[in-house]
Every structure is written in structure tokens, then in C-alpha cells.
């Protein structure tokens, strides 16, 4: 007679889920801290013109944004009331647009570089001359895919 008997009726214990909420909250906290909501702080006022046919951009990682408009209220004293160009977080000049595009394209994976798009967010009251100058610089930099950002036209009841 054996002292230790093997029972085939024993079940394996269940997996403990007591630490699951801790793990979920840790992941939630990590992603809240690591996520960047907006990369660019606007230093120009951009009120986009209305358009009836609008499409959303698919992959925003392939898009470089150029903003054109008047400086925001707290920067008017320093930069004046004339239309300015914003490249990333700072004001730029027309001759800096080519360098900005080159740097933006270098940050994209090589196999996606042909899909690069330049999105121009232009204030509806901005002078067309500065927009034309920016477009000429984009042409020199061989950035030929240009998107103009707009807001969707509101339906007017008649």
C-alpha cells in the first residue's frame, strides 16, 4: 500500500486576475503620458475658408503643414500685423520653405517619400502674394503635392 495516492480527479487552479486592474491602469497611464496630442503651437491666426467638397487626409505622418496668416494677438506687437509664414512652431521666411520641406521629407521612411504631401493652412483674409511665393518655393523644392486645408461649408437654409 502506498503512502501517496495520485488522484486523477484534481483540477488545475484558475489563473488569478487580481493584478489585472493594476496592469490596465499602468498601461493607461503610460499611454496618457507618452501620447502627444498636438505637435504645433499656432503663432499665426488661421481661419480656413469654406469649401463644399472636402476630404480627410489618410496618413498625417506623410504631411508637412505650412501655416499662413497674421500673428496671434500677443505676438502682434513684436511681429506686426502683416501676414507671416509658420513652419513648425516658429515663424519662417519664404526662402526657408525649401529647407523645411527637405527636413520633413528626410524624416519619412524612404519607401513612402513619394507620397509626401504639403498641406497649406491659409487664413481666408491672407494676401495671395505670400501664398504664391510659398508655392514657388515648393515648386523649386520639388514638392508638387499640395493640399489646401479648408473647413466644411455649413448648409444655409433658404
| pLDDT tens digits, one per residue of 49-105 | 888 888 888 888 888 899 999 998 888 888 888 999 999 888 999 999 999 999 999
pTM over 0.85: no
Domains, the chain, in order of start with CATH, read 44-152 (3.30.420.270)
Question: DSSP states of 84-151 as a string?
Answer: EEEETTEEE-GGGHHHHHHHHHHTS-GGGGGG-EEEEEE-TTS-HHHHHHHHHHHHHTT---EEE--E
Across the range 105-116, mean pLDDT stands at: 90
Q: What is the pLDDT of residues 115-142, one digit of tens each?
A: 999 999 999 899 999 999 999 999 999 9
Would the pLDDT of 155 be above 70? no
Amino acid at each position: 500500500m502506498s503512502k501517496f495516492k495520485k488522484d486523477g480527479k484534481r483540477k488545475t487552479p484558475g489563473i488569478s486576475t487580481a493584478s489585472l486592474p493594476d496592469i490596465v491602469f499602468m498601461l493607461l497611464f503610460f499611454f496618457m503620458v507618452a501620447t502627444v496630442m498636438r505637435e504645433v503651437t499656432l503663432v499665426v491666426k488661421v481661419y480656413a475658408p469654406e469649401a463644399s467638397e472636402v476630404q480627410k487626409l489618410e496618413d498625417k505622418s506623410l504631411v508637412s503643414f505650412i501655416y499662413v496668416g497674421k500673428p496671434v494677438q500677443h505676438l502682434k506687437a513684436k511681429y506686426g500685423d502683416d501676414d507671416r509664414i509658420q513652419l513648425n512652431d516658429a515663424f519662417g521666411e519664404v526662402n526657408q520653405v525649401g529647407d523645411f520641406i527637405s527636413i520633413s521629407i528626410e524624416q519619412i521612411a524612404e519607401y513612402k517619400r513619394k507620397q509626401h504631401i504639403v498641406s497649406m493652412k491659409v487664413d481666408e483674409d491672407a494676401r495671395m502674394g505670400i501664398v504664391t511665393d510659398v508655392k514657388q518655393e515648393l515648386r523649386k523644392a520639388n514638392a508638387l503635392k499640395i493640399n489646401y486645408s479648408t473647413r466644411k461649408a455649413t448648409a444655409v437654409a433658404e
